[in-house]
Copies of this chain bind each other. A is one copy, B any other.
Amino acid sequence: MRISELSRRSGVPGATIKFYLREGLLPPGRATAATQAEYSEVHLRRLRLIRALIGVRGLTVNATREVLTAVSEHEGDLHQVLGLVLGARPVNREEEPQGGLGSSEVNALVEQMGWQVSAHAPARRVIAETLESLRSLGADYSWRTLLPYAELARQTAVLDLDQLEDTDDSVEQAERALLLTVLLEPALLALRRMAQENESAARHGD
């Protein structure tokens, strides 16, 4: 297909596609004339992933290029690809912090759940900080209070991963993982708010 059709099917303006080509985020099309090239479904999928990395995860053009290169290098290895696009795994090994993130409480939680989670997953720090804030505001909260929530998170992750199983294309899986993880976050919190309202009505409403 030409750039115009690539633009129409992806919803990305032609000028933006040309910019991605110049920046090396998109590989060149197959030249059909001195000033014309033909683009394929591979370009379309990769364009969608670029848009998700920049627009949804908020990466810079340079960071996006690094992630795309790493995703190509790990073609077929869904676990690596997910780690890369969701940010659990540093693109460059040098970025990896030395001691690991989180706290002994988070380690206890992860161990109790029997989870394999890398020592530098940013999620570890988020949980450690949340427990700190809750306690500093006077709430009686420990990692054990989070255990039943962790079990529900485990079931949520099973739903998430099930939705990535029906394709083998790592670029497509990377894009879907980003959309389903990042875009779904506000909706999952909104579902919890609605469920709270319902539960509260069922217990205490008129």
Contacts and interface: CB of A to CB of B under 8 A. Distances in A.
22 contacts: A78-B200, A79-B201, A79-B203, A83-B200, A86-B196, A121-B194, A121-B197, A123-B190, A123-B191, A129-B186, A131-B187, A139-B180, A148-B159, A149-B156, A152-B156, A154-B199, A156-B192, A157-B192, A157-B195, A158-B199, A161-B203, A188-B192
A181 interface: yes
A124 B179 contact: no
Given A155-B152, A200-B78, A204-B77, A137 B48 contact: yes
Contacts of A1: none
Contact of A193 (B78, B86, B116, B190): B86
Contacts of A57: none
Given A127-B187, A134-B179, A139-B176, A160 B118 contact: no
Given A79-B201, A146-B191, A161-B196, 7 more contacts: A56-B137, A82-B197, A110-B194, A123-B190, A130-B190, A156-B195, A157-B198
Contacts of A126: 186-187, 189-190
B205 A116 contact: yes
Contacts of A154: 195, 198-199
Interface string A150-182: 101111111111000000000000001001110
B117 A198 contact: yes
A52 interface: yes
A11 interface: yes
Interface in A104-157: 110, 113, 115-118, 121-124, 126-127, 129-131, 133-134, 136-139, 146, 148-150, 152-157
Interface residues of A, number: 74
A130 B183 contact: yes
Contacts of A160: 192, 196, 199
A185 interface: yes
